[in-house]
A and B are shown apart, each in its own frame.
Chain A
């Protein structure tokens, strides 16, 4: 089955800096890669996703890149703000049907003012 590894497990940056979170996956059949943000005491929420037919997707200050050959994908956050502080989860799955999402272990991002 799919195995998703996420690193680093924690990251601390200064406000305004960029942050990068990296994930690798094992199943070459996986073709859907969402990222979730979980603020303290709240539910995980989808912030961006990418499908395997594209290599990069951007939404304002966040972007995700996918390298299918190397089986890794990354989340990039630019101009970080204190409200970006949260735990970020990557996930991978095959699209369609009821195939399950497999999540990484999460990365705690702290943005210091």
Chain B
């Protein structure tokens, strides 16, 4: 149904682990985003990539490392996370053109639990 797919859907990791979240969009969009959703901050923007270039880093700790190899793929590399990083991580994409505006389309999200 969705043009934005995320894997894995669920991830449990220890604080010393290294893991990655993957996102792929099939909509031909130019911009991709990572959002964090938790009870405290329902939709918190983390990173924005526009034409593969990072245009926004919303003061995210360095234990989160994004990678955008092309306009269709986005990764979030995770290392030495804390339990408070447990949340739903949503990937999104948008056309990001002057005509299309900023309508963004979300993936189903990756539920992350840090133990």
Interface size class of B (residues with CB under 8 A): 20 to 34
10 nearest A-B pairs in the assembled complex, by CB-CB distance:
A96-B98, A98-B50, A103-B43, A43-B106, A95-B101, A106-B42, A93-B102, A98-B55, A43-B108, A44-B106
Given contacts A32-B101, A43-B90, A106-B43, contact A100 B56 (CB under 8 A): yes
A-B contact pairs, 9 of them (CB 8 A): A34-B102, A42-B108, A93-B102, A95-B101, A98-B56, A99-B102, A100-B33, A100-B48, A103-B42
Q: Does A101 contact B (CB under 8 A)?
A: yes
**Residue ID in chain A nearest B95 by CB atoms:** A96
Q: Which residues of B contact A34 (CB under 8 A)?
A: 102-103
* Residue pair A101, B42 in contact (C-beta under 8 Å): no
Q: Which residues of A contact B41 (CB under 8 A)?
A: 105
Q: Does A25 contact B (CB under 8 A)?
A: no
How near does chain A come to B94, taking the closest CB pair, in angstroms? 8
* Residue pair A98, B96 in contact (C-beta under 8 Å): yes
* Residue pair A51, B56 in contact (C-beta under 8 Å): no
* Residue pair A51, B101 in contact (C-beta under 8 Å): yes
In the complex, which residues 68-82 of chain A have their Cβ closer than 8 Å to any Cβ of chain B?
Answer: none
How near does chain B come to A90, taking the closest CB pair, in angstroms? 11
Q: Does A97 contact B (CB under 8 A)?
A: yes
A97 is contacted by which of B96, B104, B106, B108 (Cβ under 8 Å)?
A: B96
Q: Does A45 contact B (CB under 8 A)?
A: yes
- How long is the Cα–Cα vector from A44 to B105 in the complex, in angstroms? 8
Q: Which residues of A contact B99 (CB under 8 A)?
A: 96
- How long is the Cα–Cα vector from A78 to B48 in the complex, in angstroms? 35
Q: Does A29 contact B (CB under 8 A)?
A: no
* Residue pair B90, A89 in contact (C-beta under 8 Å): no
